[in-house]
Chains A and B, each alone.
Chain A
């Protein structure tokens, strides 16, 4: 345990149960003042739960929380805020129709009747310049990028004079540039004696950003170490509790016949040209990576390929057939699988049970239904199988999906979409928010699908993932394919350049 004189707060033997599930079991670790503290672990290891206990969203069943040397009971977020604790959640809590400064003062309006806007803006400007936030305080939040929205959340905490910032998966939705700028701000905050706790799955981030790291496994805090003592391999081993098994490449034969072809797809709306004459072909037995920074037309392209958007020019051929002649449901029946980019808006229903979610999009299939009737037992069996094969935790088929961590929700989606006859898989950010153990598992699974003759289009903003899996890489920039390169010839720096400038700037 770190030197006690510097300890800012600590968890002592904290246990939290949800029904029969133990989310935290006798968790003990301390965080020092003025440090960046990483919390790592697999999905469902209890990282978010312990942080929500600190923030007063959950009360522990047993154990104590020590804050500045004395035992404290934080029964609600208001208490936490008054102690200087602030949290940026995975999903931002902003009002889209209000401006940046209105969002920031929301819930802490100076008084009921008067609003000294000048004073507020003055204080915000000061914070803005000292931490180099690029934000227009008068802009409406709905017009901001995800990265900017996150800045608003952080600024909000600073405005409330938070000394402890908890960030839950802060980089999951950021572009590489946004990530860099976030880290600079966090380091600056550390210099100003703020304490920062970061939950993340990304090993590189832990190593480059944090001072200490606490590893959690199955609800327990295994150990807390200074980050300097670790490297990528040792950290990964600590997280999964064993040696990491490298991907074993599955042999593929010669390129087989095309499974999906896009020809001259263009899409123009009031927002301008979103897609510009996109053409490519994906064959059975290959993985094609589509690299690009989010917001360069990937979403629209996915919607077109998945047959949920039909206002485009050009043509798509799936298995030599025009998907437009099928309903979206029938297309899936033909072996078209989809891991959608936005889990909550496209992939799952949070209030439904795991069982109900595991048949979404396949609910009329013979193995779960009989004519118009849905067989509860068969649905349950199917769900149990998916949960078992992808190690979704907790494994209770009747729990609402909202009870699961983001990574485990994603595992269920991947399980649902790939545990069936697949001839083509459109996988968008398949491992977003997923821990390294499960990521390895999913990657191996993709290679297996490929070996079985499926074609895969992998859409990702993670270059690591693209480079690891793809046979061929396409780069999308401002709605157009700006480069196509074989895996052997691809380098990270070249791809990065294409992604950020469309290759117009020559190296």
Chain B
């Protein structure tokens, strides 16, 4: 990557981060809090083993939902349904564990991953199918499918799968053979204490593999080529023998599947059960992640890390301050999104003002 490319790809996002940090600081000051806690939260999320562990734990699902949205964007489609798809994915794992509790781990783990991908994917496929066959707009369909999907999974949590021994709205624990090891188990094997007591687990690697696979799929396969052509101009695609319907269905299946994998991180990697409201809107944050990464699957990794750290940093701030709650992250994320969505405009305006200033 040349210097020009670096500038083009990173100048906007970096400026957006700095400006939104500045605005968040101003809000903290106006609430009578020292902006230093923002810095403190930042250093702790990146430079302590505990903070980094949590940051990566939040990053993992955001990579997956970011990819889910980005993949659809490449085909010119808007998947707002990742939230519902990831709920279905998580429920799929729990169901698989209840159906086959006796499986050995080497079958249970692949089954869990495949089931979460399939159940998320099938939920996504509905939107693709309706668009292909009936022309229903995918935005409306995925929004509505979110309501249905989340409500359905909550029903499963509260009734058929409910752990009646506890009062919390959660399911029974899945069988041990489905458990994925936390990263601390790996680091501990080498005698290190890094990531101890944090929930980050090997699903992180799965999400990284997914990102690389998405990149490869989009840019090195004929199918990826077809999807990108379709996303750029459906009419050109049609004139050149790229059929609309099967590609629409396929891309929504894959997108849904990627979102469904979030269940692996949550259920197999950390809580080992399904808890109502387990997702702090990973599906919707995924839209922001994809936007920030400009739909580059590899860029999604970095963008997810950023949003993961903001998410984690907000928890930290809540802990450090008596006045501020973790919802401050929403403020910062919102500024980031506005600045990134309009960064071309802001940058050119900035450059123009700068030029005019220097000319006078």
- Chain B residues with CB under 8 Å of A340's CB are 239
B241 to A330, Cβ gap below 8 A? yes
Q: Does A329 sit within 8 A of B, measured CB to CB?
A: yes
Query: In the complex, A344 Cα to B228 Cα: how many Å?
Result: 16
With A328-B241, A330-B241, A374-B220: A363-B225 Cβ-Cβ less than 8 Å: yes
Measured CB to CB, the nearest residue on chain A to B241 is A329
A360 to B240, Cβ gap below 8 A? yes
Query: In the complex, A348 Cα to B225 Cα: how many Å?
Result: 13
Q: Does B235 sit within 8 A of A, measured CB to CB?
A: yes
A332 to B241, Cβ gap below 8 A? yes
Q: Does A369 sit within 8 A of B, measured CB to CB?
A: yes
Query: In the complex, A352 Cα to B225 Cα: how many Å?
Result: 10
Query: In the complex, A64 Cα to B302 Cα: how many Å?
Result: 44
B225 to A374, Cβ gap below 8 A? yes
- Chain A residues with CB under 8 Å of B241's CB are 327-332, 361
Query: In the complex, A356 Cα to B233 Cα: how many Å?
Result: 14
B232 to A328, Cβ gap below 8 A? no
The 9 closest A-B pairs by CB, nearest first: A329-B241, A361-B240, A328-B241, A346-B239, A349-B232, A360-B240, A372-B221, A364-B222, A345-B235
- Size bracket of the B interface: 20 to 34
Measured CB to CB, the nearest residue on chain B to A73 is B359
A347 to B239, Cβ gap below 8 A? yes
B222 to A352, Cβ gap below 8 A? no
Measured CB to CB, the nearest residue on chain A to B224 is A374
B229-258 vs A, CB cutoff 8 Å, 1 = contact: the mask equals: 100110110111111000000000000000
Among B222, B235, B238, max chain A CB count under 10 A is at B222
Q: Does A130 sit within 8 A of B, measured CB to CB?
A: no
Q: Does A427 sit within 8 A of B, measured CB to CB?
A: no
Instruction: Count A/B pairs, Cβ under 8 Å.
Output: 65
B221 to A329, Cβ gap below 8 A? no
Q: Does A121 sit within 8 A of B, measured CB to CB?
A: no
Q: Does A180 sit within 8 A of B, measured CB to CB?
A: no
22 contacts between A and B (CB under 8 A): A75-B355, A328-B243, A329-B240, A331-B241, A345-B236, A346-B236, A346-B239, A350-B232, A352-B229, A356-B225, A359-B225, A360-B240, A361-B239, A363-B222, A363-B226, A364-B222, A369-B222, A372-B221, A372-B222, A372-B223, A373-B221, A376-B220
A360 to B229, Cβ gap below 8 A? yes
A349 to B223, Cβ gap below 8 A? no
- Chain B residues with CB under 8 Å of A329's CB are 240-243
Measured CB to CB, the nearest residue on chain A to B229 is A349
B236 to A347, Cβ gap below 8 A? yes
Q: Does A308 sit within 8 A of B, measured CB to CB?
A: yes
Measured CB to CB, the nearest residue on chain B to A332 is B241
Query: In the complex, A18 Cα to B226 Cα: how many Å?
Result: 30
Query: In the complex, A165 Cα to B221 Cα: how many Å?
Result: 47
Query: In the complex, A356 Cα to B224 Cα: how many Å?
Result: 12
Interface residues of A (CB under 8 A from B): 75, 306, 308, 327-332, 338, 340, 344-352, 356, 359-361, 363-364, 369, 372-374, 376
Interface residues of B (CB under 8 A from A): 220-226, 228-229, 232-233, 235-236, 238-243, 355
B225 to A346, Cβ gap below 8 A? no
- Chain A residues with CB under 8 Å of B226's CB are 363
B221 to A374, Cβ gap below 8 A? yes
B236 to A373, Cβ gap below 8 A? no
A349 to B233, Cβ gap below 8 A? yes
- Chain A residues with CB under 8 Å of B232's CB are 349-352
Query: In the complex, A286 Cα to B141 Cα: how many Å?
Result: 52
Measured CB to CB, the nearest residue on chain A to B352 is A76
Query: In the complex, A361 Cα to B235 Cα: how many Å?
Result: 12
B239 to A373, Cβ gap below 8 A? no
Query: In the complex, A292 Cα to B322 Cα: how many Å?
Result: 78
B243 to A327, Cβ gap below 8 A? yes
Measured CB to CB, the nearest residue on chain B to A302 is B239
B236 to A348, Cβ gap below 8 A? yes
B242 to A373, Cβ gap below 8 A? no
CB distance from B157 to the nearest CB of A (A): 39
- Chain B residues with CB under 8 Å of A372's CB are 221-223
- Chain A residues with CB under 8 Å of B229's CB are 349, 352, 360
- Chain A residues with CB under 8 Å of B224's CB are 374
CB distance from A49 to the nearest CB of B (A): 20
Measured CB to CB, the nearest residue on chain A to B216 is A373
- Chain A residues with CB under 8 Å of B238's CB are 308, 328
B236 to A360, Cβ gap below 8 A? yes
A308 to B239, Cβ gap below 8 A? yes
Among B221, B232, B233, B241, max chain A CB count under 10 A is at B241
Measured CB to CB, the nearest residue on chain A to B239 is A346
CB distance from B224 to the nearest CB of A (A): 8
Among B224, B233, B236, B238, max chain A CB count under 10 A is at B236
- Chain B residues with CB under 8 Å of A352's CB are 228-229, 232
Query: In the complex, A356 Cα to B228 Cα: how many Å?
Result: 11
CB distance from B121 to the nearest CB of A (A): 18
CB distance from A416 to the nearest CB of B (A): 10
- Chain A residues with CB under 8 Å of B228's CB are 352
Query: In the complex, A427 Cα to B86 Cα: how many Å?
Result: 49
Query: In the complex, A338 Cα to B224 Cα: how many Å?
Result: 23
CB distance from A380 to the nearest CB of B (A): 13
Measured CB to CB, the nearest residue on chain B to A369 is B222
- Chain B residues with CB under 8 Å of A330's CB are 241
Query: In the complex, A308 Cα to B234 Cα: how many Å?
Result: 12
CB distance from B356 to the nearest CB of A (A): 10
CB distance from B126 to the nearest CB of A (A): 25
Query: In the complex, A10 Cα to B5 Cα: how many Å?
Result: 35
CB distance from B12 to the nearest CB of A (A): 18
Query: In the complex, A411 Cα to B36 Cα: how many Å?
Result: 61
- Chain B residues with CB under 8 Å of A373's CB are 220-222
Query: In the complex, A372 Cα to B236 Cα: how many Å?
Result: 21
- Chain A residues with CB under 8 Å of B223's CB are 372
B220 to A338, Cβ gap below 8 A? no
- Chain A residues with CB under 8 Å of B233's CB are 344-345, 349
- Chain A residues with CB under 8 Å of B225's CB are 356, 359, 363, 374
Measured CB to CB, the nearest residue on chain B to A329 is B241
Query: In the complex, A328 Cα to B232 Cα: how many Å?
Result: 19
